Amino acid sequence: MNKLKQAQVFTPPWATNQMIDMLDQKLLSDHETFFFEPTCGDGAMLVVIVDRIFNELLKKYGDKTQALADTLFKFYAIELDAELVPKARKRIYDWAVSKIERELSELEMYLIARSLQQSIENRDFFEAMNHPIDAPSGAKAISRKLRNKTRRL
């Protein structure tokens, strides 16, 4: 495992940004679209993804708190390595706090941390895809969309 960890390479922000640039930008603020990171590592890609979603939602709402609240419910991430999961959660937590330029209340801090416990999970991607029913709302929405797509085929 140590060797494996030393060999891990996380995606640099410029590469993630290029990938997101290829999307229809409306998807970032579309309330029916969820983003799924199946192997999130320490959150290197995820933090860029949430920042891009946040920026689009901010343009839409003109309100940072509302944009942040919606951003936190627009993604679901999975990581197999239990040691990386708290790092990914902390990364997104710090990012979220940096967006609100005031002291957060204890309740706000709790709600952000609690939502990240549910949206960044220590799971095996393959196991998660086999059990979409017990997955949190983001994954359920993904499986709903996939089901609708396969029905249309």
Least Å from the CB of residue 106 to ligand SAM: 31
E strands within the chain? 35-37, 75-79, 120-122
Residue from 9, 22, 133, 153 touching ligand SAM (CB under 6 A): that is: 9
Least Å from the CB of residue 110 to ligand SAM: 27
For residue 125, the one-letter residue type is F
Among residues 30 and 124, whose Cβ is nearest to ligand SAM? 124
CA separation for the pair 114, 1 (Å, rounded): 29
Provide the token pair at 141: 């929405």
Calculate the alpha carbon distances from 149 to 72, 120, 146, 153 in Å: 25, 25, 5, 7
Least Å from the CB of residue 133 to ligand SAM: 18
Residue from 35, 41, 56, 74 touching ligand SAM (CB under 6 A): that is: 41
Among residues 17 and 66, whose Cβ is nearest to ligand SAM? 17
- Contact range with ligand SAM by CB under 6 A, out of 35-43, 51-59, 66-74, 99-107: 35-43
Sheet holding 120-122, edge to edge: 35-37, 75-79, 120-122
44 contacts ligand SAM (rule: CB under 6 A) = yes
Three state DSSP letters for 25-69: HHHHCCCCCCEEECCCCCCHHHHHHHHHHHHHHHHHHCCHHHHHH
Least Å from the CB of residue 147 to ligand SAM: 22
Least Å from the CB of residue 24 to ligand SAM: 22
Residues at the interface with ligand SAM (CB under 6 A): 8-11, 39-41, 44-45, 78-81, 84, 124-126
